Amino acid sequence: MYPNDGFRELGRQECLRLLVMAPVGRIVYTHQALPAVTPVNFGLDADGAVLLRTSTASELAHAVDGAVVAFEADEVDADTHSGWSVVVTGRAGIVTDPAEATRLERVTPNSYAPSPEEVFVRIEPELVTGRELVAGRTVYGVHLSA
Residue 141 domain-assigned (yes or no): no
Residues 6+ apart with CB under 8 A from 44: 16, 19, 20, 50, 51
Please provide residue 123's backbone torsions phi and psi, each rounded to the nearest 5 degrees. Answer: -110, 115
Determine what percent of the chain is predicted with pLDDT higher than 70. Answer: 88
For the chain, the average pLDDT equals 89
Residue 91 domain-assigned (yes or no): yes
CA-wise closest residue to 60 among 39, 44, 45: 39
In angstroms, the first-to-last Cα distance of the chain is 23
pLDDT score of 14 more than 70: yes
Identify the bridge partners of residue 48 per DSSP, sorted by sequence position: none
Residue 85 domain-assigned (yes or no): yes
- Output the domain CATH number for residue 25: 2.30.110.10
Q: What pLDDT digit, counting tens, does each position of 99-146 carry?
A: 999 999 988 998 888 888 999 999 999 999 999 988 655 444 444 444
Reported pTM = 0.86
Residue 142 domain-assigned (yes or no): no
Buried b (16+ CB within 10 A) or exposed e, 77-96: eeeebbebbbbbbbebbbbe
The total domain count for the chain is 1
Expressed as residue numbers, the domain containing 89 is 7-135
Q: What pLDDT digit, counting tens, does each position of 65-79 carry?
A: 999 999 999 999 888
